[in-house]
Amino acid sequence: MPGSNPQAKASIHFVDPSSMVVVPQVAGAARVSVQSSPTDKYGVAVARISYGSATSIRGTATHHMIGIGCSKPVRTEHMIEGKRLHHHSGPGCLCVCPAGARHFTAFDGPMEGVVLQVSPECLKLAMADLGAHTGTLVERMDGQDPVLTRIAHVLEAEAAADHPSGMLFWSSVTDALLEHLAAHHLSTAPASPQGRMHASALKRLEDFIQSNLAEPLDLDSLAAVVGSTRFHFARVFRATVGVSPHRYVVRRRLQRARALLRVGESLAQVAAATGFSDQSHLSNWIRRVYGTTPMRLAARR
């Protein structure tokens, strides 16, 4: 919902109020000057939030949350899953709170920042692209990341101007955000290989999916590629990649569809080439994941 809401207070909802609450409990008024969440639940949302006085925030993150400070330094207390830090947060100061983590933040005075909300599913798929199937997003309560800061301000500017560069630009920038998180903000501790799919099996599976996007793909055909039963395959795939096989295939179909739309293929041709049942089926998924129509997604501005 692009636009301004200078009177917003208490709870701030980026996307779905029932499941994606950014600030469940706020002591003090919050002003939201920019807010945009093009998709229902599968993408990246941005907001610029300011507090005019001392403020405390607590809750449990339902999505990955990234905060970038934009105002003069203020004494801050951060706590994520029991880890606590007292410091002065100022321009460019970074806070990363992984999905599912309990958090508490208190500012001793006025504070303003850009907040990004990232779908865990999107990050998992970016990790799969980089072959990083075992990492998890690491919490951060201090420090800086100039790349994340630059991306956050680009998204904020797009949202403030009601997406003048088009949704293709938005999705390209959010792709860069996800790739940066996957490459630079994951844990390096190796996960146990028990119950996970071997890298060579994942590579065979990825090659098979990419070569057969136009064809019907079910659990039986995917499991056969790696020599597994469908039930064992579904469980191990989710444990390894972080999303279900169905969701993974849909995302791969959409990635191909986006590329074909960009080079001028018709919607009917794209639907047939990417395994969607018809134009309506493809359009519905594009709206669900990218928050726009196929034509707006393909438009260059």
Q: Which residue type, as a one-letter code, is found at position 96?
A: V
Range of the domain at 162: 12-184
Q: What is the pTM of this model?
A: 0.76
The answer to whether residues 24 and 160 belong to one domain is yes
Instruction: Return the percentage of the chain with pLDDT > 70, whole number.
Output: 85
Residues 70, 106 within the same domain: yes
Q: Say whether both 155 and 211 belong to one domain.
A: no
Chain centroid to Cα 42, Å, comes to 7
Spatial distance between the Cα atoms of 170 and 27, rounded to a whole number of angstroms: 33
Q: What contacts 200, CB < 8 A, 6 or more positions away?
A: none
Structural domains counted in the chain: 2
Q: Are 30 and 10 in contact (CB under 8 A)?
A: yes
Tell me the C-alpha distance between 169 and 146, whole Å: 20
Q: Does residue 192 form part of some domain?
A: no
Give every CB contact of residue 113 below 8 A, 6+ residues apart in sequence. Answer: 48, 49, 50, 67, 68, 69, 70, 71
Average pLDDT of the residues in 114-136: 84
Is 203 found in the same domain as 141? no
Q: In degrees to the nearest 10, what's the CA dihedral of 33, 73, 96, 19?
A: -30
Let me know whether 95 and 204 are in one domain: no
pLDDT at 283 over 50: yes
Residue 5 within a domain: no
Of 73, 159, 81, 76, nearest in space to 116 by CA: 159
| 216, pLDDT greater than 70 | yes
Tell whether 67 and 96 lie within a shared domain.
Answer: yes
CATH label of the domain that carries residue 211: 1.10.10.60
Looking at residue 80, which CATH number applies to its domain? 2.60.120.10
275 found inside a domain: yes
Does residue 186 carry a pLDDT above 80?
A: yes
| Domain termination site, one of 140, 157, 184 | 184
20 belongs to a structural domain: yes
